[in-house]
Chain A
């Protein structure tokens, strides 16, 4: 068994750049440096052609038309543009937004900001697996509802909302549906038509593209979604997002989408097999481990486990030289707050402190999975020997393995 340490199992945080993506970007970091807005010379035209090709590649991945893609600096900006853009533009129609407690902070904090500006937010509570139902969403709609914002896949647990059903509900009630698909896009099929999505945020660096580039899909027909501009300036991106285009980033994102689209079927199957193997080996080696998130309605690459009696940071720290993973424990965060996602799902706080997220990716191998699971089992066993297990037994509401 040969593995290079440390092993990277934190692909939901970010992914390494695919060499093919880097190769495609290189000319635009060199000789082809033109500004895509310079229409009258060859430098600009080359840049523009590259951007438009990338726009088609991004659109193809999500079943959209190229003119429906706006390039942004990343999914956080896309979320801000979508939510604030709708809230401002449709102010006269209403002020009510429906979202969920497990969203990414880019959505949660944007909605909280809008709350201070007179919007009313419904924070749906997910079930124990981190999912909401279409009925729950429908029940929250009022005649003042202008937007539903629900992520396609959760970054911490991989849990999938029934997005297509929610899309139908949104359409039936004439409410705009935004979905943050940062984690889903590139890992599983995502289609704005079949899922009934009107606005969709995506990011390049979660699918082996570069950081600092993302996109927002904005539906042009049935309904045509209008957004209040958030970034004023030179009128780039059809006036919806000003700022000189990040041509190398855009080319990288296009290539990343292209690769994801053509290899997804094979790749997601392979990664799911690795993920399942990791989960199984850990569960076989240890008692009192709980799965956070849905067992099947889940991203193929993600497994989030709580190891009763050991605090997450102590496991992550013990393995720091060997394995890159993340924890939902408050102790590892600057704010000392436990994962808001696990809290919303009703995971006992002690179990949230004990959670570790493993997120696999394109470049992981079976050997890495076997090494990692063996070490995780060893380290958890060792750390449990240091833990006052007897005193803690009552508080750990372990749901079994």
Chain B
């Protein structure tokens, strides 16, 4: 499998690996994928009072593309509003990392992981972000 330099860099030195406090009402957690399929991604976001993501973390069971996709997604999440977070599309991740066609599903998983974390944050915080309307439409 030929991977791009950018992907390998993020795979070897991923950013934002770790966990946030799940009990914090401002933290949303999403776990997507299945171990039987060889990919599980866990995303966590911390959202401030303005609905802006101040921190994002991930943990991934998966191949090189999965780890790099998750890492890139967390980088892109920081500083965005939850509404903007939901606009991150898998093909942007795939393009940025030059994912091989057979690995596109890794970027799809990252997109789903973001949605799942935002959904959880919404549920926990009880706040309505404008973006919520878009959640779960897929």
Contact = CB atoms under 8 A, between A and B. Distances in A.
A385 B40 CA distance: 14
A204 B70 CA distance: 44
A386 B14 contact: yes
A386 B13 CA distance: 11
Contacts of B1: 313, 332
B76 interface: no
Contacts of B42: 388, 391
A334 interface: yes
Given A317-B11, A336-B102, A392 B61 contact: yes
B133 interface: no
A391 B33 CA distance: 11
Contacts of A387: 59-61
B94 to A, nearest CB: 16
A356 interface: no
Contacts of B126: none
A238 to B, nearest CB: 44
Nearest to A391: B31
B38 A391 contact: no
Contacts of A317: 3, 11, 63-64
Contact of A313 (B31, B37, B63): B63
Name B's interface SS. Answer: mixed
> Which of B60, B63, B64 gathers the greatest number of chain A CB atoms within 10 Å?
B63
B56 interface: no
Contacts of A309: 61
State which size class the interface on B falls in.
Answer: 20 to 34
Interface residues of A, number: 27
Interface string B16-37: 0100000000000001000111
Nearest to A385: B17
A330 B38 contact: yes
Contacts of B102: 334, 336
Contacts of A306: none
Contacts of A338: 38
Given A353-B38, A392-B35, A331 B12 contact: no
Contacts of B79: none
B62 interface: yes
Contacts of A332: 1, 63
Contacts of A11: none
A395 B14 CA distance: 25
B60 A391 contact: no
B64 A313 contact: yes
Given A317-B11, A386-B14, A388-B42, A329 B35 contact: no
B67 interface: yes
B64 A329 contact: no
Interface of B: 1, 3, 11-12, 14, 17, 31, 35-42, 59-64, 66-67, 102
6 contacts: A309-B61, A311-B39, A317-B64, A350-B35, A387-B59, A388-B31
Q: What are the 5 tightest A-B residue pairs by CB atom distance, in nearest-first order?
A: A331-B63, A350-B35, A353-B38, A388-B59, A349-B36
